[in-house]
Amino acid sequence: MKKYLLLVLIATVCIVSVTDAQIKKGATFLGGDISGNTSRTKSADTVNSKQKGFTISPVFGKAIRENLVLGVDLIAMAGLNETGGGVSEQKNRAYGGGIFLRKYKQLGNSGFSIFAQGRLGVRFDRYEINSTNVTYSDVTKTFNTTLSAYPGMSYTISKKLQLEIGFYDLLAINYASGKRTVTDSQVNEYKTTGFSLSSSLDNFSPFYLGFRLLLN
């Protein structure tokens, strides 16, 4: 279903025409995005796994032209995955930031707008796996640099407030370098580097929900 919604959104971007400018040059662009997930897998009366996570991203920008915003953002992420009723757990933490350029197109006088955003960002990740049955830990620290693009849609509630939805990193080019430390009967360390090209359509990433304040 999300795939079809995205295709409709992309098609709309291609055919829509701009009427009145919604965001005036010089406007201050404030806001934030928030997304999260939680799930539980059970077999009979036994909980096999539990997952939960959230992402928060404050945003600041300036309209350098009508309907064109240049800005910066920060991001913080956390997640927990427990398996075997707490026998093993994986903790995820991440923080970072980036600069972005966003272009809006207004859908007539409906109050809806569509946008396309490009972003260059950096992020630091930490993944940790621990087992309660044995002395074992697996810690990976990664530095990522990502160039990405994604579409979205916003709705104007008032002259100063918008709500929006979109896909994070619909298309992304990423460079990562990391260090992995595995502690069992002994300590082993591994270092990795690499480039990747990815799409959020590969795993049907959920929509994010965000808001924007426009101060003219």
Helix/strand/coil (H/E/C) assignment for every residue in 43-80? ECCEEEEEEEEEEEEEEEEEEEECCEEEEEEEEEEEEE
> In degrees, to the nearest 5, what angle opens at C-alpha 64 toward C-alphas 58 and 65?
125
Q: What is residue 88's predicted lDDT score, i.e. its pLDDT? A: 80
Q: What is the DSSP string of 155-198?
A: EEEETTEEEEEE-TTSEEEEEEEEEEEEESSSEEEEEEEEEEEE
Q: What is residue 30's predicted lDDT score, i.e. its pLDDT? A: 92
DSSP state of 201: G
Close Cβ partners of 14 (under 8 Å, ≥ 6 residues apart): none
pTM for the model stands at 0.72
All structural domains of the chain, each given as residue ranges with its CATH number in brackets, are 2-215 (2.40.160.20)
**pLDDT confidence tier of residue 44, bands split at 50, 70 and 90:** low
Burial of 134 (0-12, 13-18, 19+ CB in 10 A): exposed
What mean pLDDT value characterizes the chain?
82
DSSP state of 131: E
Q: What is residue 17's predicted lDDT score, i.e. its pLDDT? A: 38
**pLDDT confidence tier of residue 58, bands split at 50, 70 and 90:** very high
Q: What is residue 45's predicted lDDT score, i.e. its pLDDT? A: 57
When pLDDT is averaged across residues 51-71 and rounded to a whole number, the result is 93
The answer to whether 92 and 126 are in contact (CB under 8 A) is yes
Neighbours of 99 (CB within 10 A): 13
Closest CA to 173 of 198, 194, 192, 193: 198
Close Cβ partners of 112 (under 8 Å, ≥ 6 residues apart): 106, 153, 154, 155, 156
Say whether pLDDT at 211 is over 90.
no
